[in-house]
Amino acid sequence: MSDWDDVTVLHRNAPRATVARSQGAVNAARREGAVVDTERKGSVANRGHHVDTDHRRIAALDRSDDVKAPTTVNLSVGKAIMQARQAKGWTQKDLGVRINEKNTVINEYESSRAIPNQQILGKMERALGVKLRGKNIGEPLHPPKK
Protein backbone atom coordinates (compact mmCIF):
# COMPACT_ATOMS: atom_id res chain seq x y z
CA MET A 1 0.00 0.00 0.00
CA SER A 2 1.32 3.41 -0.86
CA ASP A 3 0.94 6.78 0.76
CA TRP A 4 -1.34 7.85 -2.03
CA ASP A 5 -4.06 5.45 -0.95
CA ASP A 6 -4.31 6.67 2.67
CA VAL A 7 -6.82 9.37 3.56
CA THR A 8 -6.19 11.73 6.48
CA VAL A 9 -9.21 13.55 7.90
CA LEU A 10 -8.19 16.82 9.54
CA HIS A 11 -11.59 18.10 10.56
CA ARG A 12 -15.00 16.51 10.57
CA ASN A 13 -18.08 18.68 11.04
CA ALA A 14 -20.10 17.90 14.14
CA PRO A 15 -23.77 17.20 13.58
CA ARG A 16 -25.73 20.41 13.66
CA ALA A 17 -28.97 20.98 15.46
CA THR A 18 -31.89 21.07 13.11
CA VAL A 19 -35.24 22.69 13.58
CA ALA A 20 -38.20 20.39 13.22
CA ARG A 21 -41.29 22.31 12.30
CA SER A 22 -43.79 19.49 12.68
CA GLN A 23 -44.73 17.20 15.54
CA GLY A 24 -44.06 14.15 13.34
CA ALA A 25 -40.44 15.21 12.78
CA VAL A 26 -39.93 15.63 16.52
CA ASN A 27 -41.40 12.16 17.19
CA ALA A 28 -39.18 10.62 14.49
CA ALA A 29 -36.08 12.15 16.13
CA ARG A 30 -37.15 10.74 19.49
CA ARG A 31 -37.57 7.25 17.99
CA GLU A 32 -34.04 7.42 16.54
CA GLY A 33 -32.68 8.28 19.99
CA ALA A 34 -31.53 11.80 19.16
CA VAL A 35 -31.46 14.48 21.83
CA VAL A 36 -34.61 16.54 21.45
CA ASP A 37 -35.05 19.96 22.96
CA THR A 38 -38.42 21.60 22.57
CA GLU A 39 -38.74 25.33 22.91
CA ARG A 40 -41.76 27.44 22.14
CA LYS A 41 -40.93 30.49 20.10
CA GLY A 42 -42.14 33.65 21.81
CA SER A 43 -44.63 35.86 20.10
CA VAL A 44 -45.99 39.24 21.05
CA ALA A 45 -48.95 37.58 22.74
CA ASN A 46 -46.74 35.26 24.83
CA ARG A 47 -44.09 37.72 25.99
CA GLY A 48 -46.19 39.61 28.46
CA HIS A 49 -44.42 42.90 27.83
CA HIS A 50 -47.74 44.71 28.04
CA VAL A 51 -48.09 43.87 31.71
CA ASP A 52 -48.70 46.83 34.02
CA THR A 53 -49.22 49.42 31.29
CA ASP A 54 -51.89 52.03 31.76
CA HIS A 55 -53.81 51.59 28.53
CA ARG A 56 -56.45 54.16 29.44
CA ARG A 57 -53.82 56.86 29.89
CA ILE A 58 -52.09 55.94 26.64
CA ALA A 59 -55.39 55.91 24.75
CA ALA A 60 -56.30 59.33 26.17
CA LEU A 61 -52.95 60.70 25.02
CA ASP A 62 -53.55 59.31 21.55
CA ARG A 63 -56.99 60.89 21.32
CA SER A 64 -55.88 64.33 22.46
CA ASP A 65 -54.74 66.72 19.79
CA ASP A 66 -53.22 69.20 22.22
CA VAL A 67 -49.83 70.35 21.05
CA LYS A 68 -48.20 72.78 23.43
CA ALA A 69 -45.77 75.21 21.92
CA PRO A 70 -42.33 75.21 23.55
CA THR A 71 -41.63 78.01 25.99
CA THR A 72 -39.76 80.97 24.60
CA VAL A 73 -37.56 83.60 26.17
CA ASN A 74 -39.39 86.14 28.32
CA LEU A 75 -39.91 89.60 26.82
CA SER A 76 -37.93 91.21 29.67
CA VAL A 77 -34.90 89.12 28.72
CA GLY A 78 -35.11 90.29 25.10
CA LYS A 79 -35.35 93.93 26.18
CA ALA A 80 -32.41 93.52 28.58
CA ILE A 81 -30.26 92.05 25.81
CA MET A 82 -31.18 94.87 23.44
CA GLN A 83 -30.54 97.64 25.99
CA ALA A 84 -27.19 96.21 27.11
CA ARG A 85 -26.08 95.67 23.53
CA GLN A 86 -27.03 99.19 22.50
CA ALA A 87 -25.37 100.65 25.60
CA LYS A 88 -22.10 99.10 24.47
CA GLY A 89 -22.68 100.35 20.92
CA TRP A 90 -22.73 96.85 19.40
CA THR A 91 -24.85 95.57 16.57
CA GLN A 92 -26.48 92.15 16.69
CA LYS A 93 -23.71 90.90 14.43
CA ASP A 94 -21.02 92.27 16.77
CA LEU A 95 -22.56 90.46 19.75
CA GLY A 96 -22.92 87.29 17.68
CA VAL A 97 -19.24 87.38 16.75
CA ARG A 98 -18.21 87.93 20.38
CA ILE A 99 -20.20 84.94 21.66
CA ASN A 100 -19.62 82.79 18.54
CA GLU A 101 -23.29 82.64 17.49
CA LYS A 102 -25.13 83.81 14.37
CA ASN A 103 -26.79 87.21 14.36
CA THR A 104 -30.12 85.47 13.67
CA VAL A 105 -29.83 83.80 17.09
CA ILE A 106 -29.35 87.22 18.71
CA ASN A 107 -32.36 88.54 16.78
CA GLU A 108 -34.54 85.64 17.99
CA TYR A 109 -33.53 86.24 21.62
CA GLU A 110 -34.18 89.98 21.41
CA SER A 111 -37.60 89.46 19.82
CA SER A 112 -38.48 86.72 22.38
CA ARG A 113 -38.96 84.02 19.74
CA ALA A 114 -36.03 81.81 20.83
CA ILE A 115 -36.29 78.68 22.93
CA PRO A 116 -34.03 79.36 25.94
CA ASN A 117 -30.62 77.75 25.81
CA GLN A 118 -28.66 78.15 29.05
CA GLN A 119 -25.28 78.05 27.31
CA ILE A 120 -26.18 80.87 24.93
CA LEU A 121 -27.71 82.93 27.75
CA GLY A 122 -24.56 82.41 29.82
CA LYS A 123 -22.34 83.59 26.94
CA MET A 124 -24.54 86.67 26.45
CA GLU A 125 -24.43 87.44 30.19
CA ARG A 126 -20.63 87.35 30.24
CA ALA A 127 -20.27 89.39 27.04
CA LEU A 128 -22.83 92.05 27.99
CA GLY A 129 -22.17 92.05 31.74
CA VAL A 130 -25.90 91.89 32.48
CA LYS A 131 -27.99 89.25 34.27
CA LEU A 132 -30.34 87.47 31.87
CA ARG A 133 -31.42 84.51 34.05
CA GLY A 134 -33.15 84.21 37.39
CA LYS A 135 -34.18 87.26 39.40
CA ASN A 136 -33.06 90.83 38.73
CA ILE A 137 -32.93 90.48 34.95
CA GLY A 138 -31.18 93.46 33.40
CA GLU A 139 -29.04 94.34 36.42
CA PRO A 140 -25.24 94.33 36.20
CA LEU A 141 -23.75 90.85 36.39
CA HIS A 142 -21.17 91.81 39.02
CA PRO A 143 -22.40 94.70 41.16
CA PRO A 144 -19.77 97.28 42.10
CA LYS A 145 -17.84 96.40 45.26
CA LYS A 146 -18.15 98.65 48.28
Model confidence over 42-80: pLDDT tens digits?
Answer: 655 555 555 556 777 777 777 777 767 778 888 999 999
Cα atoms in the Cβ-side hemisphere of radius 13 Å centred on 15: 5
Please tell me the distance from the alpha carbon of residue 132 to that of residue 18, in angstroms, as a whole number. 69
**Most confident range, picked from 3-12, 30-39, 51-60, 129-138:** 129-138
Q: What is the DSSP string of 10-63?
A: ---PPPPP----SHHHHHHHHHHT------PPP-HHHH-TTTT--HHHHHHHHH
Q: Is 84 helix (H, G, I), strand (E, B) or coil?
A: helix
Using 50, 70 and 90 to split pLDDT, how confident is the model at 9? confident
- pTM given for the model: 0.53
pLDDT tens, position by position, 22-35: 888 888 888 888 88
Residue 97 CB-density burial (10 A; 0-12 exposed, 13-18 middle, 19+ buried): middle
